Amino acid sequence: MALSDLDRKMVLEAIEEYDQLGRDAFLERYGYREARDYFVVHNGRRYDSKAIAGVAHRGVSGRPLRPSEFSGGAATVGRILGHLGFLVTRQRDASPAEVFLEKIRNLDTAVSNGRSKRHQPLTLLWALGRAARREKRLAPWDVSHTEISALIREFGLDGDRPNPEYPVLKLTHFELWTLPEHREPPRPSGSALLGWMRRNQPISGLREWVYDLVAENEAVRCQAIAYLLSTYFQDKDQNALLTRVGLGDVDNEPPPLPQHVRTPDRRPTTVRRIIRDNALSRLIKTLHDYTCQVCGTRLLLPQGKYAEGAHIRPLGSPHDGHDVAGNLLCLCPNDHVLFDQGAIIIKNDLTVIDRLTGAPRGTLRIIAGHDIDPQYLAYHRDMYRGAASLSPVL
């Protein structure tokens, strides 16, 4: 009668029957009451988790379980359905996206010398890159181990040991990750787990509901990435990190203008004006849904939405700004030019000032997950302090 013998197919069959009958008839047929706490989420719909597990049990023993035959709490049904890759949620109203982002904001990362360790964030970014490219969700251990180790060496804190065993197990117990062939993986502490991982060589990856969510929902994926970058990698070249985990090649930019607008003898200026920029800039623009943070304009081109990523403190000599999310704005082309030329500046309280008149133009639009670092705004203001005529930056 072990619920732990359930497999994913049995659960999906129960869900299918639930869909066919409808909730009331399904619960009535098998004698279950409406769930109050635990729901399993599939394709955006919620199902009473105990009833689903009990009916799915038909695949194990040939008959559904009655509700009195087992407990439907988190420790039993929640854990088993979770292991099979399903999201089991407590609140009726939390969507998978909310559950996922809540977990991302609450990673239990160790702290060393006042700084958070980056093993879990790097492991997640690696997996988000795979999902964005629709690569296989599960990877063999030698692949995960090699690739995550390299990321830890390159983007971890000084002295971090490149041991992906810990983040993988930590994320597994945090219910974002799964080792599908191992129902009872070791806790992520002590050194015995290193031997366990070496012996078992587990295939692993994001849980199925997490993978489906971040592969299909670009906005949620970008929010998670932006949060990880701004929380854990403020001192790193974030564009290099995105490119490194394969999040730089995901093409959500408008393609080049079609041939018929080109002229044979010279390059049309409209094409040159389209700024095709880097992975970090695309991430920020996607987060803002290509809406200008100064004026709220969102341009629609025949090829799709268009905005520009503007560095607040310019990159390269002599300014040497950093390629980090806190140094980027999502702007329309007009406001990009005005900003780069110092015709508008932004105060630390995010008031946008027209420097030609001295009058405020409004407040910079901000969104969760993308915080502007005031040190860069101050640098930009200083660049133009007292300057009457301004040299082009473009």
Q: For Zn ion, which residue of 60, 157, 240, 295 counts as binding (CB under 5 A)?
A: 295
Q: How far is the CB of 346 from Zn ion (least distance, A)?
A: 13
**Nearer Cβ to Zn ion (238/286):** 286
Nearer residue to Zn ion within complex by CB, 109 or 334: 334
Q: Per CB under 5 A, does 310 bind Zn ion?
A: no
Assess 364 for contact with Zn ion (CB under 5 A).
no
Instruction: Provide the Cα torsion 381, 383, 385, 387; round to 10°.
Output: -140
For the chain, the distance separating the N- and C-terminal CA atoms, rounded to the nearest angstrom, is 70
Q: Residue 53: which of 28, 75, 78, 33 has the closest Cα?
A: 78
Tell me which H or E stretch contains 330.
Answer: strand 328-331
SS3 assignment, position 89 = strand
Q: What residue has token string 């971090």?
A: 160
Q: What gap in Å lies between CA 16 and CA 238, rounded to an integer?
A: 43
Q: Counting contacts by CB under 5 A, is residue 335 touching Zn ion? A: yes
Distance between CA atoms of 322 and 341, rounded to whole angstroms? 19
Confirm or reject binding of residue 373 to Zn ion (CB under 5 A): no
Q: Is 41 in the site for Zn ion (CB under 5 A)?
A: no
Smaller CB separation from Zn ion, 203 or 292: 292
Q: Does the protein bind Zn ion through residue 294 (CB under 5 A)?
A: yes
Looking at this protein, which amino acid is placed at residue 31? G
337 is a site residue for Zn ion (CB under 5 A): no
By beta-carbon proximity to Zn ion, the closer residue of 23 and 365 is: 365
- Nearest distance, CB of residue 185 and Zn ion, angstroms: 50
Residue whose C-alpha is closest to residue 83's, from 213, 214, 172: 172
| 19 token code pair | 């869909």
Q: In what order do the strands lie in the sheet with 138-139?
A: 138-139, 204-206, 177-178
Choice from 292, 338, 352, 372 touching Zn ion (CB under 5 A): 292
Q: Which is nearer to Zn ion, 172 or 293 (CB)?
A: 293
| Span near Zn ion by CB under 5 A; candidates 20-28, 43-51, 57-65, 293-301 | 293-301
Tell me if 332 contacts Zn ion by CB under 5 A: yes
The answer to the question of residue 15 lying near Zn ion (CB under 5 A) is no
94 binds Zn ion (CB under 5 A): no
Minimal distance, residue 291 CB to Zn ion, in Å:
9
Query: Toward Zn ion, which CB reaches closer, 89 or 291?
Result: 291
206 versus 377: smaller Cβ distance to Zn ion: 377
Q: How many residues bind Zn ion (CB under 5 A)?
A: 6
Please tell me whether residue 307 binds Zn ion under the rule CB under 5 A: no
The Cα–Cα gap between 389 and 367 comes to 33
CA quadruple 101, 103, 105, 109: dihedral positive or negative? negative
User: Which one-letter amino acid corresponds to residue 322?
Assistant: H
Q: Which residues bind Zn ion (CB under 5 A)?
A: 292, 294-295, 297, 332, 335
